[in-house]
Amino acid sequence: MAPTVERKNINLAPLKAANVPIFFIVGGPGSGKGTQCDKIVAKYGLTHLSSGDLLRDEVKSGSPRGAQLTAIMESGALVPLEVVLDLVKEAMLKAIEKGSKGFLIDGYPREVVQGQQFESEIQEAKLVLFFDVAEDTLVKRLLHRAQTSGRADDNIDTIKKRLHTFVTSTQPVVDYYEKKGKLVRINAEGSVDDIFGVVVANLDKVTSKI
């Protein structure tokens, strides 16, 4: 049996009362979403949260929960969605205390149920920004990145497996939010500034109503 993580009772009242806009950011490795998130943060003053970073930080913190998460990952099991959501909630509450104007939740949701759980427990996302790049382009970008980073594990087979996993797990999420009319599909094959121009045009429509 996989190790479990004790969940905390989190008071979400301050977060709900703030009612700031929330945007989900979806895109494969090499899609350039990290660069775009940095530009969005600089222009709109939003808080950028990555569920993967929050997990890594919790493990590094040496907390009892971090130790439980390490045990789960070492056993080969997946970290429960509820635990990832707790980490996101806590990070959002800390940011609200500091006066956050809204959130970019990066690499989230990875599954439809994760998005549904987030929206039912916290609030609905305003938009889902999907940085759409052809698989061939992503492979080329990641191979180029591997040459400069010196990461030996970034060979073409490993990269293709990672991309295949991303595409198959993310497609249902993309379809779900497209049907809800919340998905913004951004062709992320152009220049950084051209892509950002499309991002701004879409965010301005939503942020002007807030």
Catalytic site residue from 39, 43, 65, 145: 145
The H or E element containing residue 118 is helix 112-121
Active-site residue (options: 60, 94, 151, 205): 151
Task: List residues forming the annotated binding site.
Answer: 30-35, 51, 56, 77-79, 107-110, 114, 145, 151, 162, 190
Residue in 33, 89, 126, 182 annotated catalytic: 33
3-state secondary structure of 50: strand
Our answer to whether residue 7 is catalytic in this structure is no
Cα–Cα distance for residue pair 106/116, rounded to 1 Å: 16
118, 42 Cβ separation under 8 angstroms: no
Cβ-in-10-Å burial (0-12, 13-18, 19+) of 27 comes to buried
Binding residue ranges for ATP: 30-35, 145, 190
Which entry of 110, 126, 141, 182 is annotated as an active-site residue?
110
Catalytic residue of the set 43, 65, 101, 162: 162
Q: Give, to the nearest 10 degrees, the angle between helix 156-179 and helix 112-121.
A: 50
Decide if 33 is catalytic.
yes
Cite the annotated binding site for AMP by residue number: 51, 56, 77-79, 107-110, 114, 151, 162
Known catalytic residue: 151?
A: yes
**Catalytic residue list contains 89:** no
Instruction: Give the E-state strand segments of the chain in sequence order.
Output: 22-27, 47-50, 103-106, 127-132, 183-187
Please confirm, yes or no, whether 185 is among the known catalytic residues. no
Catalytic residues: 33, 110, 145, 151, 162
